Amino acid sequence: MWDIIQVTNSSDKKDIINLRKIVFSGEDVDKEQEEYWDWEFKNNFYGTAELFSAKKNAATIGHYAIIPQKFQIQGNEYTAGLVVDVMTHPDYRKQGMFYSISKFALGATHTDFTIGYPIREDV
């Protein structure tokens, strides 16, 4: 099995980027750059993203990111979380990781609600 953790600093950045290279091979290669990662997750306009990883023997085998966003709904401001870069290493697919990591992440997030926009046909 694996352990799910909340990533609290940038120490896992390289592991997450390497997982991205495996999971999304050849897609959006600009997102494989550390500068892009910093811009998207660390220096976000509304604050630092909440990152969650699945680990097995210290290797990052799953990832789930929640980027903060601000919404105005009927005159009230809410902090929403945009769920992005949900990844499972190919060797661990169809074993319940998406369910495990999303349940953990949604229970730990500091947002009022989350949104997601699946862009791949298999999702």
pLDDT in tens, 43-69: 988 889 999 999 999 999 999 999 999
Give residue 122's pLDDT. 66
Contact status, residue 106 vs residue 50, Cβ threshold 8 Å:
no
Whole-angstrom distance, CA of residue 4 vs CA of residue 54: 4
Which comes out higher in pLDDT, residue 121 or 88?
88
pLDDT at 119 over 90: no
